[in-house]
Structure formats: structure tokens, C-alpha cells
Amino acid sequence: MVNRIDATFDDTGSWKESDVVPSGTAPAPEGEKQKLSSLDPVLRITTVNTERTFKGGMQGSALALYTMVYHNDPSKSSEMPMASYTGIMFFKGTVQGSKEGEATFTSSGTWGKDGQMRAVGEWTLVPGTLTGGLVDALGDKGVVKGGYSTAGHTDCQCWLEIGA
């Protein structure tokens, strides 16, 4: 049986995104985005560091670190670029009233797919990263995964599925 936990999170205004500049590539001029390819003016790689505050079935805070690749939307349904990303999220808090603990999740997703200005992501618990009260709340319960879908930085709908 799968137990679903619903929550929301807010990015705390700490979104920090930096261009990745490959070795041997000249940095972009001040105020311009770094381009990786003269043939594809959209292709861009960045790193992101952001902090989050969780409410609801998950309560606590998290640090998320992503590598993002901005590229053309392969669906061709939009002239806008989209981004694909992967990374980790370190969560410290409680789940469904458990005692406080920590957990690390891998994360992957997209932003801007099909021209929609929304992020859709998935999380999967990294085995062996549970501490404190989250060991009892999430450990030995089967696969722990979750995700989110959001069009902004506040009241982002998210969930965990335990035993999936």
C-alpha cells in the first residue's frame, strides 16, 4: 500500500543561479547570459542553489542544488527555451508529525516544457541518508519518492509516496 503525504514549499528568496563556463570559453559580457554554442543560441548550463521551507505533511527546511541545461523545446510547441535539470535536495524536518530527522533525495525535472512556465520534478530518497525521526517515518517502508509541480516560488505543491 502506498501512503501519500501532501505538503507545500516556498523558495525562501535565495535562488542563486550561475552560468557554467567551460574551460577555454570566454565568459559572457557583463549582463549577458553565457552561451555554449554558436550554432545553438539557446544552449546554456547553470548551477542553482536554493533554500526551501516546507509546510503540511512535511515540515522543515531544505537545501536544493541543481545543474540546469537550457535548450530548445523538442516538442516544437513553443518558441521559448525549456530547461532540464538534475540534482539533490537535503531535507531537515518532520514527516507526518515524526520526530525531526534528515533525508537526502535525488531530483530531476523540467521547466518551461511545451511553453508552460512551470517546473515539474521528481524526488527519490537516497538509500542510507535517513537520520533521527525520519528513520522510523520513512525507513523500511519500501521506495520513497515524490515530486512537485509549480508555476512560482511560493505555495509549491509537493508530495511524498511511501511504499511505492
> Which residue, among 49, 58, 50, has the nearest Cα to 9 in the 3D structure?
58
Domain that residue 13 falls in: 3-21+40-162
Give the Cβ contact number of residue 78 at 10 Å.
14
| Within a domain: 140 | yes
Helix (H, G, I), strand (E, B) or coil at 113: helix
**Domain tally for the chain?**
1
Residue 114 belongs to some domain of the structure: yes
Domain assignment present for 125 = yes
pLDDT of residue 4: 94
List the one residue out of 14, 84, 62, 68 whose CA is nearest residue 158: 62
pLDDT-derived band of residue 34, with 50, 70 and 90 as boundaries? Answer: low
Counting residues of the chain whose pLDDT is more than 70, the rounded percentage is: 86
Read off the C-alpha cell for 93.
524536518
Residue 76 lies in a domain: yes
pLDDT in tens, 86-111: 999 999 999 999 999 999 999 999 98
CATH number of the domain to which 63 belongs: 2.40.350.10
Residue 39 banded pLDDT, cuts 50, 70, 90: low
State pTM to two decimals: 0.84
In a domain, 63, yes or no: yes
Q: How many CB atoms lie within 10 A of CB 111?
A: 19
pLDDT digits (tens, 9 = 90+) for 122-146: 999 999 999 999 999 998 787 899 9
Residue with cell 520513512: 138
Residue 90 is predicted with a pLDDT of 98
Rounded CA-CA distance 61/74 in Å is 34
d(CA 139, CA 129): 10
Helix (H, G, I), strand (E, B) or coil at 133: helix
